Amino acid sequence: MTKSVYVLPGDNIGPEIISEGVKVLEAVNERLDLEIKVRYGLIGGRALDATGDPCPPETLMEARNSDAVLLGAVGGPKWDDCEREMRPEKGLLRIRQALNLFANLRPVIMFPQLVAASSLKPSFIEDLDILIVRELVGGIYFGEPRGFRILESGEKEGFNTLKYSESEIRRVGKIAYEAAMKRGKRLCSVDKSNVLEATILWRQVISDMSAEYPDVSLSHMYVDNAAMQLVSKPSQFDVIVTGNMFGDILSDISAMLTGSIGMLPSASLNEKAFGMYEPCHGSAPDIAGQNIANPLATILSVALLFRYSLGMPDAAVAIEDAVGKVLDRGFRTRDILTDDTILVSTSEMGSAVMEELKVTK
């Protein structure tokens, strides 16, 4: 089996966490005697510095010629004053859109070893297992018209457009329903249909689809309530499906339930299961270059890469188990450090997971 993975480290802590993800990928490659070829490219601020474009055409071409993309993180203060279209984040949005990665899966899994690191009491989060399905290439992130204009009063105004078509809702809805079928068969659709028309349609389409999935019990929740429920009674959720911006916000909230945003992986898929895999966190400029960032979200994203794009669920489970074993040994990066655990660096954490994969058969 020859497969190719295109790696885009990105900015700030991006390269540090990506090195650990690639270590783990190579360990699986070796252990299972696969022929996965790893190639590197540019995205975000580093792409902008090198080529004048945060998402250069070559990056898109190489991504399209791969079986999967592994991405670190983009952005940082160095590029904050760039023209809007040239911002590193724009590069990330452009690659998501160009590859039509409309379904962003963000599994919120509680490793029992990290219960003490969570911001919630243990009884609220034990056995937590939520899958957030976030629409990724539509909604207010991409809606036109958008921009700035000068009002008659002479005042400046910034504006964006929130819209969703039936087909955009249906295709992400299908992914969410199918995921629910394979899990606890409960789907909660999150919207703001008491105020926003685009989400009135969202609720209608997701409701209409429930006839095709009679085994899935569907519920609806307004986003403000969902944010509250996630921190008051998170175990009620199985699969959550929501639009781009609400999904962005709810996934960061959910990440903290698991102890740290450094634990949350993601898979962004198109209809052919081609995918881009990235940790949900940002590029953390404040801790870049110090070898202290948590690489586990990236390592767990590599697990998702094996599961969804390479069709190798066993490899995914092996990586997830290896992470569990390393946590069992008490190893923690700074963000998840609690009493009686052992502080390790980014690279020590990655190496520990890699060693686990080498020794366990």
Query: 343 and 12 in contact (C-beta within 8 Å)?
Result: no
259 vs 282 by CB, closer to ligand IPM: 282
> Which residues sit opposite 217 in a β-bridge?
186
254 vs 351 by CB, closer to Mg ion: 254
- DSSP 8-class letter at 184: T
Task: List, in order, residues 6 or more apart from 221 with CB less than 8 Å away.
Answer: 188, 189, 190, 191, 229
The number of residues that bind ligand IPM (CB under 6 A) is: 6
89 vs 191 by CB, closer to ligand IPM: 89
Among 248, 320, 335, 356, binds Mg ion (CB under 5 A): 248
Residue facing Mg ion at closest CB distance: 248
Subset of 201-220 contacting ligand IPM (CB under 6 A) = none
Among 53, 248, 320, 356, binds ligand IPM (CB under 6 A): 248
* Whole-angstrom distance, CA of residue 294 vs CA of residue 135: 26
251 vs 346 by CB, closer to ligand IPM: 251
Task: List, in order, residues 6 or more apart from 87 with CB less than 8 Å away.
Answer: 54, 75, 79, 80
Our finding on whether 89 is near ligand IPM (CB under 6 A) is yes
Which residue from 253, 255, 248, 200 is spatially nearest to 222, judged by alpha carbons?
Answer: 200
* Whole-angstrom distance, CA of residue 186 vs CA of residue 238: 6
28 vs 72 by CB, closer to ligand IPM: 72
Residue facing ligand IPM at closest CB distance: 89
216 vs 280 by CB, closer to ligand IPM: 280
Our finding on whether 7 is near ligand IPM (CB under 6 A) is no
Shortest distance (Å) from residue 174 CB to ligand IPM: 21
> Which of ligand IPM, Mg ion, none binds 89 (CB below 5-8 Å, type-dependent)?
ligand IPM
Our finding on whether 92 is near ligand IPM (CB under 6 A) is yes
> Which of ligand IPM, Mg ion, none binds 72 (CB below 5-8 Å, type-dependent)?
none
Subset of 22-81 contacting ligand IPM (CB under 6 A) = 75
Shortest distance (Å) from residue 328 CB to ligand IPM: 29
92 vs 218 by CB, closer to ligand IPM: 92
> Which of ligand IPM, Mg ion, none binds 44 (CB below 5-8 Å, type-dependent)?
none
71 membership: H or E segment, kind and range: strand 68-73
Contact characters 249-288, ligand IPM, x per CB under 6 A: -------------------------------x-x------
DSSP 291-350: S-S--HHHHHHHHHIIIIIS--HHHHHHHHHHHHHHHHTTEE-GGG--TT-EE--HHHHH
Positions marked active-site: 141, 192, 224, 248, 252
Shortest distance (Å) from residue 89 CB to ligand IPM: 4
- DSSP 8-class letter at 260: -
The number of residues that bind Mg ion (CB under 5 A) is: 1
* Whole-angstrom distance, CA of residue 139 vs CA of residue 204: 16
Task: List, in order, residues 6 or more apart from 144 with CB less than 8 Å away.
Answer: 161
Task: List, in order, residues 6 or more apart from 356 with CB less than 8 Å away.
Answer: 321, 322, 325, 326
Which residue from 207, 216, 160 is spatially nearest to 185, judged by alpha carbons?
Answer: 216
> Which of Mg ion, ligand IPM, none binds 356 (CB below 5-8 Å, type-dependent)?
none
* Whole-angstrom distance, CA of residue 346 vs CA of residue 236: 33
Q: Which residues bind Mg ion (CB under 5 A)?
A: 248
Q: Which residues bind ligand IPM (CB under 6 A)?
A: 75, 89, 92, 248, 280, 282
